[in-house]
Structure 1
Amino acid sequence: MRGSRPAPASSPQLPPSPAASPRVPSAPSSRRAIGVDVARAVALIGMISVHVFPESNDEDVMTLAFAVFGGRAAALFAVLAGVSIAFVEKRSRGQLYGRTLAADRAALVVRGLLIILVGLLLGHADSTIVTIIPYFGVLFLLAVPFYGRSSRFLLISAPLFAVLGPVLRHVLGGTAPEQLDPEADYTLSTAFGQPVPFAVDMLLTGYYPALMWMAYICVGMVIGRQMLTSVKVALALVGWGTALAAAMWVLSKVLLGPAGGMERLVAATPEYTRAEIAGQLAYGPDGVTMPDTTWWWLAAVSPYSSTPLNILHNLGAAVAALGIMLLLTRRGGAVFSPFAAIGAMTLTLYSAHVIVESLEVLDEDKPMVSLWIQVISFMLFALMWRSCMGRGPLETIVSDASDWVRTRIRTPRERPRAPREAPGARWRPGRRRRAGSGRAAASTAGSRRAASGPARSSPATPTPDPEEKRP
Structure 2
Amino acid sequence: MPRRDRIAGVDAARSVALVGMVATHILPIEHRDGTPTAVGLLFDGRASALFAVLAGVGIALSTGGRVPPGPGRPHVAAGVGIAVRAVLIAVIGLLLADLRPLPLVILAYYGLLFLVSIPVLRLPPWLLGGLAAVWCGLSPVLSQLLRGGTRFPVQVGTAAVAAPGEMLWTLAVTGVYPVLTWTTYLLVGLAVGRLDLMSPRVAAVLLAGGTTLSAGASAVSAFLLGPGGGAEVLGRAADERLYGTTPTWSWWWLAIAAPHSGTPFDLARTTGSALAVLGLMLLLARWAAPLVWLPAAVGSAPLSLYAFHVVLTTVPMAETERPAVFVVHVVLLAVIGALLRGLGVRGPLEAVVGFASRWARDLVRGPERVP
TM-score in terms of structure 2 length:
0.93
Rounded Cα–Cα distance in structure 1 between residues aligned with 2:335 and 2:70: 39
* Matched-pair contact (CA < 8 Å) for 2:68–2:121: no
Following superposition, the deviation at residue 91 of structure 1 comes to 6.2
Partner of 1:26: none
Partner of 1:439: none
Rounded Cα–Cα distance in structure 2 between residues aligned with 1:193 and 1:206: 17
Rounded Cα–Cα distance in structure 1 between residues aligned with 2:355 and 2:145: 42
Q: How many residues align?
A: 369
CA distance 1:368–1:221, change in 2 (3 Å): same
Partner of 1:291: 247
CA distance 1:69–1:158, change in 2 (3 Å): same
Give SS of 2:313's match: helix
Following superposition, the deviation at residue 188 of structure 1 comes to 1.5
CA distance 1:346–1:413, change in 2 (3 Å): closer
* Matched-pair contact (CA < 8 Å) for 1:363–1:370: no
| Alignment partner of 2:257 out of 276, 301, 305 | 301
Higher RCO, 1 vs 2 (CA within 8 Å, ≥6 residues apart): 2
Rounded Cα–Cα distance in structure 1 between residues aligned with 2:214 and 2:20: 18
* Matched-pair contact (CA < 8 Å) for 1:82–1:217: yes
User: After the TM superposition, which of the residue ranges 348-357 and 149-158 deviates more from structure 2?
Assistant: 149-158
Kindly indicate whether residue 339 of structure 2 is the aligned counterpart of residue 392 of structure 1.
Answer: no
Partner of 1:197: 166
What pairs up with 1:351-370 in 2 under 5 angstroms? 351-360=307-316, 362-370=317-325
* Matched-pair contact (CA < 8 Å) for 1:135–1:209: yes
Kindly indicate whether residue 132 of structure 2 is the aligned counterpart of residue 158 of structure 1.
Answer: yes
Partner of 2:43: 69
| Alignment partner of 1:333 out of 271, 284, 289 | 289
| Alignment partner of 1:316 out of 241, 259, 272 | 272
Following superposition, the deviation at residue 395 of structure 1 comes to 0.4
- 1:181-225 deviation line (CA, Å, top 9, x unaligned): x543111122x2121221111111111111211111111111112
Where in structure 1 are there 5+ consecutive unaligned residues? 8-29, 267-273, 415-471
Give SS of 1:329's match: helix
CA distance 1:380–1:300, change in 2 (3 Å): same
Following superposition, the deviation at residue 379 of structure 1 comes to 1.1
Rounded Cα–Cα distance in structure 1 between residues aligned with 2:7 and 2:90: 28
Rounded Cα–Cα distance in structure 2 between residues aligned with 1:131 and 1:402: 22
Where in structure 2 are there 5+ consecutive unaligned residues? none
- 1:221-263 deviation line (CA, Å, top 9, x unaligned): 1111222122111110011111111111111011111011112
Partner of 1:279: 239
User: After the TM superposition, which of the residue ranges 405-414 and 216-225 deviates more from structure 2?
Assistant: 405-414
CA distance 1:59–1:93, change in 2 (3 Å): closer
Partner of 1:15: none
Partner of 1:436: none
Rounded Cα–Cα distance in structure 2 between residues aligned with 1:59 and 1:310: 22
Partner of 2:203: 234
- 1:369-414 deviation line (CA, Å, top 9, x unaligned): 1111111111111221333361100000110000001111111599
Following superposition, the deviation at residue 34 of structure 1 comes to 0.8
Kindly indicate whether residue 64 of structure 2 is the aligned counterpart of residue 90 of structure 1.
Answer: yes
Partner of 1:382: 337
The structure carrying a bigger helix percent of its residues is 2
Give the partner amino acid of 1:257: G
What pairs up with 1:53-202 in 2 under 5 angstroms? 53-58=27-32, 61-90=35-64, 93-174=67-148, 183-190=153-160, 192-202=161-171
- 1:14-45 deviation line (CA, Å, top 9, x unaligned): xxxxxxxxxxxxxxxx9543111000000000
Kindly indicate whether residue 7 of structure 2 is the aligned counterpart of residue 37 of structure 1.
Answer: no
Give the partner amino acid of 2:331: I
The structure with the larger Rg is 1
Give SS of 1:366's match: helix
TM-score in terms of structure 1 length:
0.74
User: After the TM superposition, which of the residue ranges 38-47 and 86-95 deviates more from structure 2?
Assistant: 86-95
Give SS of 2:314's match: helix
Kindly indicate whether residue 362 of structure 2 is the aligned counterpart of residue 407 of structure 1.
Answer: yes
Give SS of 2:148's match: helix
Rounded Cα–Cα distance in structure 1 between residues aligned with 2:69 and 2:155: 40
What pairs up with 1:4-23 in 2 under 5 angstroms? none
Partner of 1:221: 190
* Matched-pair contact (CA < 8 Å) for 2:69–2:78: no
What pairs up with 1:411-430 in 2 under 5 angstroms? 411=366
CA distance 1:389–1:329, change in 2 (3 Å): closer
Partner of 1:454: none
User: What is the aligned-residue RMSD (CA, Å)?
Assistant: 2.2
Rounded Cα–Cα distance in structure 1 between residues aligned with 2:305 and 2:327: 14
- 1:61-83 deviation line (CA, Å, top 9, x unaligned): 42100111000011111111111
